[in-house]
Structure 1
Amino acid sequence: MSKLNIDQKTIFDRCSDKKADFLIPDYQRPYAWEYAECQTLWEDIFNFAFPDNDYSRFDSDSDEYFLGPIVTFVNDDKKMEVIDGQQRLTTLMLLLRAFYEKFGMMQDDNSKKTRENLEKCIWKTDEFGTPDKTRLKIDSEVATDNDKEQFVNILKSGIASDDMKSNYANNYRFFQKQINDFLQKFPSYFSYLPTRILNNCILLPIEAESQDTALRIFSTLNDRGLPLSDADIFKAQFYKYYTKKGGKDNFIKRWKALEEQTSKIFHPITGTPMDELFTRYMYYERACQKIKSSTTEALRKFYEKDSYALLKKDKTLDDLESLCDFWNDISNQDKERFNEAVLRRLYVLNYAPNGMWNYFTSVYFMQNKDANGKLDDAKFCAFLTKITAFIWTYAIVNPGVNALRTPVYAEMVNLIEGKSVEFTDFKFEPATVKSMLNNYYFSNSRPITKSMLTWWAFHDENQPLLSLESVYEIEHIFARKRQENESSLSNSGKLESLGNKVLLEKKINIRASDYRFTDKIKYYKGFTNDKGQYKEGTKIIELQGIANNKSDYTEADIDSRQETIIDSFIEFLKQNNLTK
């Protein structure tokens, strides 16, 4: 079991400790606190130390103000790497330095004592307790923070010149102004505020025995922003590798570009956009290592093998950039990179019942891209078509993304070995699939429902490509309200059949009262409202055809369309050689 040292301490006790040697490590995010956060901190501690603007109402023996936890671990260089609390700790150091700067010329006994206490928190001391003003108690190595040198310089000199525009400088100047204002208002009690901050504001230092433990604690404690991600840890390994090669600045530039691009492309439910990029690349590396096991390691566990050996290769960052560009062009529906057929299939996969296709497609791209990072459109289109047929069917026959791992992981390895994707051991029996489709309850809450409707919409070759930015919902052509009022369907369960459902733009808002098919037609086709405004109809070609060619939509239409969709899907499986 991991050991933890947890002991509530005042700011003075924590920072004046001779063992206090804080390091904001390279994998941390840049300092991000701004005016709003600093103002809140100042107001909170001032109101605590001077209740109702009255210094005498403070009880120095019992009053405490809790500032939050500081999670650290001692690294190989005996420095305390800060995992949680770096924003808070950095800001406190700026605040203490601003106080010290103001106490520099004050000679009264209280001021001298306060100044000495502040010195012990900001600088390391020798064995006699004398501060060494060349050795700070805190340092920053944040790889992507171009302003970190300003932080160190401010702490050393106590000066933030007007040409410094960093958050460090802005916040330091903010505290200087607040301290000046406070001194003007309470000149006789000036020493009380920093003393009460040092002695009565409480931190909760949590010292873990390892980085892993510290990160787990952070993930548990932190509810005020994003915890350190796996990608932050990977960034540190890259940073060290490229620094040794003399390419630190170029790496930082490339990493920032990746972060910016991934934030526009990926929107994962858990983890960061950069984590998602590393995940997609992991599946390629797993396949290269011939790993077919359905048990997938955690992201950081995979990359940390052999002391992060994979992250100490030039090709890895090159590959990540290439993979990111590929998915960026997919998200932008880039017609210069992909032909119409490929973009149509990618659109359908965007509505897949699970996310496995993203990893499968990433492996395909990494293995088959040419020197310019491009794919053969015809071969890529065939691949996308086949995995659509397989994934859709597997979601019906063997629901659950975990079940999909076994066949897909094996095919990922086949891709690396130069083999075509065949799913040889996982062919489907057409009669079984047809029976399951006919008896499946296609409720709107099941992802496969929208998957099937999207596939069916694009089964029509006349269906134009739709924008990924447009939101589509599931429309009941024969409305539920109509069944409630008329009970004209022999089985109300047919309301949820594929034959009665179609994609429809979310922006086309059909009123609940317009439940009859004759009322709905105008929304499908487009119409001019009472204000003379034209309301555009649907871009779903099949629904346009239904609206133009039918005066009513009946149970017979539902049954006929249901049969057509299912028969077409079975034929789709056969065309892709996925049937027994």
Structure 2
Amino acid sequence: MSKLNVDQKTIKDLFQSKKSDFLIPDYQRPYAWGEAECRTLWDDIFSFAIPDEGKTEFDSNSEYFLGPIVTFRNEDKLEVIDGQQRLTTLMLLLRAFYSKFGHMQDKASISTKQNIEKCLWKTDEFGEPDMSQLKIDSEVATDNDKEEFLEILRTGIVNKEMKSKYACNFRFFQNNIDEFLSKYPTYFAYLPTRIMNNCILLPIEAESQDTALRIFSTLNDRGKPLSDADIFKAQFYKHFSKLGKKEEFIAQWKKLEELCERIFHPISGTPMDELFTRYMYFVRAKMGIVSSTTEALRKFYEKNSYALLKDTNTLTELIVLAEFWEDVSNQDTERFSNRVLKQFFVLNYAPNGMWTYFVSVYFMQNKDDEGLLDDEKFYTFLQKITGFIWTYAITNPGVNALRTPVYAEMVNIVNDKPVEFSKYKFDADTIRSMFDNFSFNNARPITKAMIAWWAYQNDKQPLLSLETTFEIEHIYARNRNEKENSLTDARNVESLGNKALLEKRINIRASDYRFTDKKKYYEGFTNSKGQIKEGTGVVELLDLTATSADFTENDIIDRYKKMIDCFINYLQKNSLIK
């Protein structure tokens, strides 16, 4: 069991301890508190330390809890995992107070000044502060202002050129301290003293980084916890610093973060974590790993002391992979053919995210020197994985079941073998029976996946935008049957044959109309105010509008049969049927 040192302490006891030598590590995010957070801190502390603006006597035994500080001992430093924001801000606050005591010679002021000194600077064996050694240091790789923070602590000076959050917050505290001094001069020494003596922190010192991170994840219900990518950044930073390329790395990493923020929107983890995950599957495949048990992201990359992250090529390949997915997201016509982009649109509605890992492996293995793929081979690959993933979602629901066949094919890809799913061919009659008995309700991702696939079986269907929100349209409206009771089998209203993709902006208006009324929304129209309401981009719905006076139960049944026949043929064409 991991050992923890947990002991509630006042700011004075914690900061003045000989063992307190805080390090904000390179993998932390830059300082983020602004004036709003500083004002909340100031107002709360002031109300506690000077109750009722000095009209109520202060209880010297009272305490104000500021929160935990989670660290682990890294050699002679306390590496800060949680509490960076409050720790940094408290240091700025104390330094702002310290500057005001410079020429005050009364006993209370001298005593307070000396106590602040021992909170900010290390002391020698005689207990005297060494003004050259601060009690906190920052190595945050992507914080260009960290030196400004340390300079403010050293000198207590902020000039007009300083625009960092550190400088802004320091000025905020200076202004509030000035106001406090002018309004309550007799209480001036009391406020910082009560902050140091009665404001409480909960330092939690873990024996390892892993333990500290787990504690942080448990405690932290606000803000952003450290991600795996933050830890990986530290390893890259150290590697490139040794190569003399620290600034180059910081610039690359920042651009990569911004790129990932634009293109990845994972359900869990950060956008950068998602990129590392996609790249991990390529590395796993090259290692020949076919096990369906997937290691946690950090566990995978930390092997052999993060050897993979100490390889300069890794960052280069991550950038190349991110740029590929950016072009997928932007539907880039220079990189991809129209048919490939259409296939990507369909895959965007896949019943699970496994396809993104699959495609990442294919791309990393088969790209040429310019990062391009052979269009014919790539299109064939995309069609095959679409058919397989869609069918597996019916026959073996759940992404876990999909891992076994897909992981094996990932290894085949990196060994330049074709993707065939040779051990997992489907039986046409069994597939048809399973589809007939499957409930395609809207809550199941495979429902939208199937109708997205079906939309592009129409050769006239142009490429739709990934930025457009599509919903599931019931061509025969659900409440129509409730009102008319015209279906012989009420379940047909939820049949796949009654569903299509439709832009959300249209679906909201058209959802409750009869088919004859819906037609104008599908086609688009000009309203009474002269505003043009655009129609749908889904060609099948436009064809129905042009050729059909109504959409009946027989139409639902016929359309469903066409969809399933077409899908079975699609599987046959892609060599997925026994």
Q: TM-score range by the shorter chain?
A: over 0.9
- How far off is 1:509 after superposition? 4.0
Using the alignment, how far apart are the partners of 1:192 and 1:12 within structure 2?
14
Instruction: Identify if the C-alpha distance between structure 1 residues 454 and 153 changes in structure 2 by more than 3 Å, giving closer, same or farther.
Output: same
- C-alpha distance after superposition, 1:45-84 (max 9, x if no partner): 11111122116432112x2111111000001x22000000
- C-alpha distance after superposition, 1:395-449 (max 9, x if no partner): 0110000000000000000000000100000000000001111111100000000
The code of the aligned residue for 2:57 comes to R
- Is 1:196 the counterpart of 2:174? The answer is no
Q: What aligned pairs does 1:162-201 form with structure 2 within 5 A after superposition?
A: 162-201=160-199
The code of the aligned residue for 1:15 comes to F
Using the alignment, how far apart are the partners of 2:296 and 2:398 within structure 1?
19
Give 1:305's aligned residue.
303
- Is 1:563 the counterpart of 2:531? The answer is no
- Is 1:47 the counterpart of 2:50? The answer is no
Give 1:6's aligned residue.
6
Give 1:128's aligned residue.
126
* 8 Å contact kept, 1:510–1:520: no
- How far off is 1:461 after superposition? 1.3
Of stretches 485-494 and 21-30 in structure 1, the one that deviates more from structure 2 is 485-494
- How far off is 1:520 after superposition? 1.2
Give 1:111's aligned residue.
109
The code of the aligned residue for 2:58 comes to F
Give 2:376's aligned residue.
378
- How far off is 1:223 after superposition? 1.5
SS at match of 1:66: strand
Give 1:462's aligned residue.
460
The code of the aligned residue for 2:307 comes to A
The code of the aligned residue for 1:29 comes to R
Give 1:32's aligned residue.
32
Q: What aligned pairs does 1:12-411 form with structure 2 within 5 A after superposition?
A: 12-54=12-54, 56-61=56-61, 63-75=62-74, 77-411=75-409
- How far off is 1:550 after superposition? 0.6
Using the alignment, how far apart are the partners of 1:536 and 1:169 within structure 2?
51
- C-alpha distance after superposition, 1:120-179 (max 9, x if no partner): 100011111100011110000000111101111111111111111111111111111111
Using the alignment, how far apart are the partners of 1:55 and 1:135 within structure 2?
40
Instruction: Identify if the C-alpha distance between structure 1 residues 508 and 284 changes in structure 2 by more than 3 Å, giving closer, same or farther.
Output: same
* 8 Å contact kept, 1:510–1:523: no
* 8 Å contact kept, 2:149–2:167: yes
SS at match of 2:505: coil
* 8 Å contact kept, 2:571–2:577: yes
The code of the aligned residue for 2:51 comes to P
The code of the aligned residue for 1:466 comes to L
Give the gaps of 5 or more residues in structure 2: none
Instruction: Identify if the C-alpha distance between structure 1 residues 510 and 269 changes in structure 2 by more than 3 Å, giving closer, same or farther.
Output: closer
Using the alignment, how far apart are the partners of 2:173 and 2:313 within structure 1?
46
Using the alignment, how far apart are the partners of 1:24 and 1:55 within structure 2?
40
- How far off is 1:530 after superposition? 2.3
- How far off is 1:198 after superposition? 0.4
Of stretches 135-144 and 45-54 in structure 1, the one that deviates more from structure 2 is 45-54
* 8 Å contact kept, 2:442–2:448: yes
- How far off is 1:28 after superposition? 0.3
Give 1:574's aligned residue.
572
Instruction: Identify if the C-alpha distance between structure 1 residues 513 and 178 changes in structure 2 by more than 3 Å, giving closer, same or farther.
Output: closer
- Aligned-CA RMSD value: 1.0
The code of the aligned residue for 1:247 comes to K
Instruction: Identify if the C-alpha distance between structure 1 residues 512 and 549 changes in structure 2 by more than 3 Å, giving closer, same or farther.
Output: closer
Using the alignment, how far apart are the partners of 1:288 and 1:525 within structure 2?
51
Q: What aligned pairs does 1:495-506 form with structure 2 within 5 A after superposition?
A: 495-506=493-504
- C-alpha distance after superposition, 1:383-405 (max 9, x if no partner): 11110000000001100000000
Using the alignment, how far apart are the partners of 2:180 and 2:53 within structure 1?
11
* 8 Å contact kept, 1:23–1:139: yes
Using the alignment, how far apart are the partners of 1:572 and 1:554 within structure 2?
27
- C-alpha distance after superposition, 1:225-256 (max 9, x if no partner): 11000000000000000111111010000000
Using the alignment, how far apart are the partners of 2:508 and 2:369 within structure 1?
50
The code of the aligned residue for 1:35 comes to E
Instruction: Identify if the C-alpha distance between structure 1 residues 449 and 147 changes in structure 2 by more than 3 Å, giving closer, same or farther.
Output: same
Instruction: Identify if the C-alpha distance between structure 1 residues 512 and 322 changes in structure 2 by more than 3 Å, giving closer, same or farther.
Output: closer
TM-score normalised per structure 2 = 0.99
SS at match of 1:336: coil
SS at match of 2:67: strand
* 8 Å contact kept, 2:474–2:511: no
* 8 Å contact kept, 2:480–2:512: no
- How far off is 1:511 after superposition? 4.7
Instruction: Identify if the C-alpha distance between structure 1 residues 529 and 82 changes in structure 2 by more than 3 Å, giving closer, same or farther.
Output: same
Using the alignment, how far apart are the partners of 2:214 and 2:293 within structure 1?
22
- Is 1:474 the counterpart of 2:472? The answer is yes
SS at match of 1:418: coil
The code of the aligned residue for 1:166 comes to S
Using the alignment, how far apart are the partners of 1:512 and 1:540 within structure 2?
15
* 8 Å contact kept, 2:260–2:272: yes
SS at match of 1:570: helix
Using the alignment, how far apart are the partners of 2:565 and 2:260 within structure 1?
40
* 8 Å contact kept, 1:494–1:558: yes
Using the alignment, how far apart are the partners of 1:159 and 1:270 within structure 2?
42
The code of the aligned residue for 2:376 comes to A
SS at match of 1:57: coil
TM-score normalised per structure 1 = 0.99
Using the alignment, how far apart are the partners of 2:241 and 2:539 within structure 1?
56
Using the alignment, how far apart are the partners of 2:15 and 2:508 within structure 1?
64
Using the alignment, how far apart are the partners of 2:525 and 2:71 within structure 1?
64
* 8 Å contact kept, 2:477–2:511: no
Using the alignment, how far apart are the partners of 1:530 and 1:329 within structure 2?
41
Give the gaps of 5 or more residues in structure 1: none
Instruction: Identify if the C-alpha distance between structure 1 residues 227 and 480 changes in structure 2 by more than 3 Å, giving closer, same or farther.
Output: same
* 8 Å contact kept, 1:114–1:194: yes
Using the alignment, how far apart are the partners of 1:20 and 1:156 within structure 2?
17
SS at match of 2:513: coil
SS at match of 1:507: helix
- C-alpha distance after superposition, 1:512-537 (max 9, x if no partner): 78432111111111122222222111
Identity level (%): 68
SS at match of 2:416: coil
Using the alignment, how far apart are the partners of 2:508 and 2:372 within structure 1?
43
Using the alignment, how far apart are the partners of 2:423 and 2:183 within structure 1?
82
**Alignment counterpart, residue 431 of structure 1, candidates 424, 429, 432:** 429
Using the alignment, how far apart are the partners of 1:161 and 1:65 within structure 2?
33
* 8 Å contact kept, 1:72–1:80: yes
Instruction: Identify if the C-alpha distance between structure 1 residues 575 and 509 changes in structure 2 by more than 3 Å, giving closer, same or farther.
Output: closer
- How far off is 1:288 after superposition? 0.5
